[in-house]
Structure 1
Amino acid sequence: MPIVSTSTSAFYERARASMKDLRSQAETLQAQLGSGEKLTRASDDPVAAARLRTLSRLESLSSIDTTNADRANADLSLADSAISNMATTIIRAQELATQAASSTLTDQQRAGIGAELDQIHDDLISLANSRDSNGHALFGGESAGNAYSVDASGNAVYIGTNSTGDLPIGDGQTVARSITGPQIFSFTDASGNTTDVMATVKALSDALKGGSTDPAGAAADALESLKQGIDTLTTGQTVVGTRLAWLDVVSERRSTLTELRTTEEASLGGTDIASTVAQLQQTLTVLEASQASFTKLSGLSLFDNLR
């Protein structure tokens, strides 16, 4: 018949293993409180760890999309401001054309108006060559240099590309970061010819400075072209404003998704402070009780009970 006995060494080994396990639990809980992370390694919860990796990847992609959206927002805001300044400049050209169309003006007065129109022409070229947030042509499409150059006759010539670069802003969506020069300047005049507002201003200036036998008539004709130029510019600004509004919608949606991801990450991998503190206190209490019991039991001897 086998004799089952509990040796002293076995008793010590079990007690040591039990207290080691409790100490390990306490250290793990303390580490969780210190780091704020519930998972110290993927093997703690493989499913949660995999989901956390996915969330981290989505957050990295969202960061890239945010950077692109911020750049698009900056460039479109710059375009909106530049177009507003262009509109103010063209409105002044309309005012001057209205004055020049009056038959009461002298040739010298019209020449003076022509000189101011030359300045307006230069201002429009300068605005058309505005730079984006990266220092590239704002209205030159994907061109790095200027959007417009001036030829030997003083005419503004578009030298940019036909389209602007698109920036990805998440979920497969893109947005054009600006608008090209022809989209805000070019229009079809009353004769059916394609022209632009800068050409209109220059032609009027030349006419008022002696380039036309009927400068008043030229000024009157220019008024309709300038009106078309303002309409084209307004349409372009509307497009820019629509893109800015769309970026706001996308940004709000991205913020909502980021909050949802943060909440899920906290739920999966974050430490519940109240629960973890309670578990730590319980573990330390059990550890302290185990140590006390071990100390008391290890001091007992069979001979103490013999009389």
Structure 2
Amino acid sequence: MAIVSTSTSAFYERARANMKDLRAQAESLQTQLGSGQKLSRSSDDPVAASRMRTLARLESLSTIDETNANRANADLSLADAAMSNMSNTIMRAQELATQAASTTLTDEQRAGIATELEQIHDDLYTLANSRDSTGHALFGGNNTGNAYELDASGNASYIGSDSSVDLPIGDGQSVTRSMTGKQIFNFTDANGNDTDVMATIKTLAAALAGGSSDPTGAANDALASLKTGLDTLTTSHTVVGTRLAWLDVVSERRTTLTELRSTEEADLGGTDIASTVAQLQQTLTVLEASQASFSKLSNLSLFNNLR
């Protein structure tokens, strides 16, 4: 009797265990189809899970780099627009200086030119104090306030730092988000003196307004300085354009790497729908057959044959 009891118990235990495993397998396959992921825990595939964690970290770092690159792009775009306006403004100052260099002008005409030059100086001052995407000084380096301030005489002086902020954009690379006011405006004139475009325009305006006994000579001197100042600005403008082009290259590369990571993540942890559906159907069929077989076998009895 004990043998019969033990055999019957073992039969039921094996059948229950087999059907439990089949149900668990079916539920796992259904979960994979619902979530789109075939790895529910690291133990399912430790190697693949480790690589998935690495890819996730790389994606997080890429998101940070993209944020920095977007800020750099915004600031450099603002700098590019401001510097284009500066170039146009300085070229207008050159035109006025050319007119003022003529000996046929009257004092009243030179005074009118001086008034416009004062306005140009104010425009450049405003552009020099442009704000970046976070509301800080665009051309002030690391300063958060203005890049330039006016003294009691109305002369503009640089109060920013000597360098701009470098922003990391991935793979150990960084890009400087703007240029400083000194890099844009400062130059050495023909006499070897350090000066800047705004000071040149301010001095010429004062000379044409009656502050010089030789306004024509002052205009000619200013023309040479304005040319040098415009060349300095153009060089800085070119640097900004180069940085913007480099950011485009880096952005394209980041997009490509993101796509490659997404593909690898899908291959490692993504569910193969067709294969998983086929496995699920097979598992459910085996489970159904096992349940049917167990039901029939459990109803069999030796006494049914003793008649």
> Which sits farther off after the overlay, 231-240 or 244-253?
244-253
Question: What is the deviation of 1:304?
Answer: 2.3
For residues 131 and 305 of structure 1, what CA distance do their matches in structure 2 show? 98
One-letter identity of the residue aligned with 1:74: A
Matched, 1:89 2:100: no
* Equivalent position of 2:22 in the other structure: 22
For residues 71 and 8 of structure 1, what CA distance do their matches in structure 2 show? 74
Q: Secondary structure at the match of 1:7?
A: helix
One-letter identity of the residue aligned with 1:250: V
Superposed CA RMSD: 1.3
Structural mapping, 1:90-129, within 5 Å:
90-129=90-129
**Identical counterparts, % of pairs:** 80
Q: Secondary structure at the match of 2:38?
A: coil
Regions of 4+ moved over 3 Å: 3-6
What 5-or-longer segments of structure 2 have no aligned partner? none
One-letter identity of the residue aligned with 2:144: A
One-letter identity of the residue aligned with 2:217: G
For residues 152 and 117 of structure 2, what CA distance do their matches in structure 1 show? 18
For residues 93 and 296 of structure 1, what CA distance do their matches in structure 2 show? 103
Structural mapping, 1:147-186, within 5 Å:
147-186=147-186
Summarize deviations over 1:122-165 as a string: whole Å, max 9, x none: 00000000000111110000000100001112111000000011
For residues 139 and 288 of structure 2, what CA distance do their matches in structure 1 show? 74
For residues 24 and 120 of structure 2, what CA distance do their matches in structure 1 show? 79
Question: What is the deviation of 1:74?
Answer: 0.5
One-letter identity of the residue aligned with 1:69: A
Aligned residues: 305
Structural mapping, 1:179-258, within 5 Å:
179-258=179-258
Report the TM-score when normalising by structure 2.
0.97
For residues 191 and 91 of structure 1, what CA distance do their matches in structure 2 show? 22
What 5-or-longer segments of structure 1 have no aligned partner? none
One-letter identity of the residue aligned with 1:130: S
For residues 116 and 281 of structure 1, what CA distance do their matches in structure 2 show? 84
Q: Secondary structure at the match of 2:28?
A: helix
Question: What is the deviation of 1:270?
Answer: 1.1
* Equivalent position of 1:259 in the other structure: 259
For residues 141 and 46 of structure 1, what CA distance do their matches in structure 2 show? 48
Report the TM-score when normalising by structure 1.
0.97
* Equivalent position of 1:68 in the other structure: 68
* Equivalent position of 2:291 in the other structure: 291
Q: Secondary structure at the match of 2:135?
A: coil
One-letter identity of the residue aligned with 1:121: H
